[in-house]
Amino acid sequence: MRLILIFGVDVIGENPKRFAVVGWFNGKLEGKGEFTLHRLIRFIQIKRPDIVAIDSVTELGEDLRKFLRSLPPGTKLVQVTGKPGEQKSLQSLAKEHGIKTADRFDPYEEARLSALLASKGVGYEVLAFEDEVIIKVARGRSPGKGGWSQDRYRKRVHNLVRDKVREIEERLRRAGISFDLETEERDYGLARGEFRVYASREELAGLVSPMHGGDVEVRIYPVERAELGFAPLKGEEAIRERRSIIVGIDPGITVGIAAVDLNGRIIALHSERNMPVGEVFRFISEIGHPVIVATDVSPAPGFVEKIARSFKAQLFVPRESFRVEEKNELLRNLGITVEDDHQGDALAAAYKAYLRLKPKLEHIDARLREAGLSKKADEVKALVIQGYNLGEAMQMVSLRERPKVEEEREDERKAPDLEPYLRRIRELERRIEMLENENRELKEIIREQRETIGKLERKIADYDEEVRKKVLREKELEAKVKRIEALERQLREAKVIIERLGRDLVQVKRMNVVEARGSAVPLKVMEVLSWHELERIEREVGLRKGDVLFVINPAGAGRAIAEKLVEKGIRALITEKPIPGPVKAVLREAHVPFFMGEELDVKRVDDFAVVERKTLEDAIERLLRKWEEEDREREAEKFLRLIEEYRIERAKELERKALEEIERKRAKET
């Protein structure tokens, strides 16, 4: 479970402005004291909380923009009382969520309520920046005036600027991040380069870093919004407040957008040239809250994935890219004319996603009619799409109007070393239970459908042969047969998932026992060998001297991160895919062993991996012994080479002296 740190903030007084701060850390409240604005900013930058909660951002006054610019990446400023125009008082919100209140005029009480409400997902995040960043690369100092040496220095600096621009360009392309680049050429190099990157500051962490004070300077500027935006903290809040929709997007120079509701009605079609990410986000937000973002191509473009992440929506990707004939047929069946191909592609993606979900949505409608919750159909459907099962979604909707009781929990005792693995086992067991419940529901639906088919077949048998043939051609019966086939296919898929999860569960338990006996070494797993992943490992589980790392895909890593691993004192590096040459060179030089996972028979389930201790120890010993022999041979070759070079040089020297002696004798004779 990830540890959450929240700071509740409230103004104490003006001139100078002073703030009361209360911290909330995983269920425990702690007063932090009184801070000036400058000290508060420094405190937040040091502690890096997940959320800074305040009842109203207007309390920051003219310092609001400065405060937002100073927040470290990953820290959100949240206005817990709601977005402008729809705000509620702290006391009324606390009462709604079962939180006890005291003196409403006490700043520390206000800060406490803000922190507690934010911990329950209440409030709106204040959005000050677009999901765009400007990266400027230029020379770090003036080359001076005149002179041959100054010209040479200027050319060198412009070459360095060009190399840095190419390096950043390559990193962005490798990470799959979209960008535009403008450059100014000078002296066969570059005087400057300016990137407009379509990603947030957090996505660039570990890819591009600022540089100051040298020959080349790199500055990073997030693009500020003209007006502040407000986004709800929880996806469920957005579902409750706004219409849930399915959005199809066709990215490119001209962006196509289509939206349908959860009943399959088309509610928006739009296309626009050079439409920025922020504008796409705002356009969709005005229509409703997307629970699914769809594309018509496979794999999904990075632009579409980014929009889905921004809304915390499910991403729909077809098994294979739509054919033109398939899209045209779908549009003909809908009986709608689009302005251009971009709108058509977006609509095809959105409607195909709706058709994929249609059987499940119809089943939800039937269940809601029985439960008398038809008015809440859209909200329940959206929660089911987000991952809740139908029973949980219906319960959440029916209980939302009832007052909630504040849950106060004692600090949990420190979990034993095996707690992460046990938690994973419990999670797998819950998922199996959820799939079994859904499996039972599907079986019940199949049984009801089969009874219906049986009744129809008995009724058909009472008619003559001609009437029976006509009934068989009826579209309703054909639709029911297709429905049964779809449900049986879902049932087969659910059985496959249950079998796989069962195998994973057995494997996790087996590895758990092996590790407890001390016959295996646990490996710290990284998806990729990057600075971002390294920071995650250090933050979540720690990286100590003597640890063994298991990296799934080390492609793209360079010398810098390899030197960092050596500095950390890791014992060995195991990878699933080949290690890049620069990383090998650094590890070989530092005598840090590296292996492929297949060499050591690594056993892995999701985020957990182990290797047999004896196998690892033997492999390390063999590799180090091999490297020692290679080093000795290399030193011997180097020594022999030096002797040979000395012999050659000595021979040349003797020959030169002999020639000089001959010349002197000739000179004397003449």
Per residue in 290-324, pLDDT (tens digit) is 889 999 998 888 788 888 877 778 889 988 888 88
Per-residue pLDDT, averaged over 636-660, amounts to 87
Whether residue 529 is found in the same domain as residue 668: yes
Percent of the chain with pLDDT over 70: 88
Count of the separate structural domains present in the chain: 5
Q: List residues bridging with 244 in a β-sheet.
A: 289
> What confidence category does residue 164 fall into, taking pLDDT thresholds of 50, 70 and 90?
very high
Q: Specify whether 584 is located in the same domain as 622.
A: yes
Is residue 574 pLDDT above 90, yes or no?
yes
Mean pLDDT score of the chain: 82
Residues 329 and 438 in one domain: no
Which amino acid makes up residue 194? Answer: E
Is 296 within the bounds of a domain?
A: yes
pLDDT band per the 50, 70, 90 thresholds, residue 665 = confident
In this prediction, residue 472 has a pLDDT band, given cuts at 50, 70 and 90, of: low
234 lies in a domain? Answer: no
Share of the chain residues as helix, strand and coil, in percent rounded to the nearest 5: 55, 20, 25
526-555: average pLDDT: 88
Among 360, 377, 394, the domain boundary falls at: 377
Strand segments, DSSP code E, in 285-395 are 289-294, 314-316
Kindly tell me if the per-residue pLDDT of 441 is higher than 60. yes
* Residue 242 pLDDT grade (very low, low, confident, very high; cuts 50, 70, 90): low
In a domain, 143, yes or no: yes
Asked, for residue 49, whether it belongs to a domain, the answer is yes
pLDDT at position 605, please? Answer: 66
Q: Are residues 571 and 645 in the same domain?
A: yes
Whole-model pTM: value is: 0.39
CA 603 to chain centre: 25
Residues 664 and 527 in one domain: yes
* Residue 272, burial from CB neighbour count under 10 angstroms (0-12, 13-18, 19+): middle
DSSP labels for 466-525?
A: HHHHHHHT-HHHHHHHHHHHHHHHHHHHHHHHHHHHHHHHHHHHHHHHHHHTTSEEEEEE
Is 393 domain-assigned? no
CATH label of the domain that carries residue 82: 3.30.420
Residue 94 has pLDDT above 50, yes or no: yes
Mean of pLDDT values over 341-368: 88
Q: Among 516, 531, 547, which residue terminates a domain?
A: 516
The answer to whether residues 109 and 173 belong to one domain is no
Residues 506 and 540 in one domain: no
* 229 within a domain of the structure (yes/no): no
Between residues 143 and 591, the one the model is more confident about: 591
Question: Looking at residues 480-486, what average pLDDT do you find?
Answer: 88
User: What mean pLDDT do residues 151-164 have?
Assistant: 87
43 against 102, higher pLDDT: 43
116: pLDDT strictly greater than 80: yes
Range of the domain at 42: 5-122
Task: Say how far residue 496 (Cα) sits from the centre of its chain.
Answer: 27
Q: Domain ends where: 516, 531, 558?
A: 516
Query: How much is the average pLDDT of 119-146?
Result: 80
- SS3 at position 76: strand
Is 394 part of any domain? no
The DSSP 8-state label assigned to residue 198 in this structure reads -
Residue 206 and residue 304 in one domain: no
Q: Based on the fold, state whether residues 311 and 282 are members of the same structural domain.
A: yes
Per-residue pLDDT for 471 more than 70? Answer: no
Cβ of 277: how many Cβ atoms within 10 Å? 20
pLDDT tens, residue by residue, 592-602: 999 998 888 88
Question: Are residues 263 and 361 located together in one domain of the fold?
Answer: yes
Provide the residue type at 406 as one letter. E
Has residue 194 got a pLDDT over 80?
Answer: yes
In a domain, 384, yes or no: no
**How much is the pLDDT for 408?**
39
Nearest to 259 by CA among 269, 272, 251, 250: 269
* Lowest-confidence pick of 84-88, 365-369, 375-379, 441-445: 375-379
- With contact defined as beta carbons under 8 Å apart, do 418 and 516 qualify? yes
What's residue 410's pLDDT? 39
161 with 112, same domain? Answer: no
Q: If we measure between CA atoms, which residue out of 71, 99, 87, 92 comes closest to residue 123?
A: 87
**94 and 136 within one domain:** no
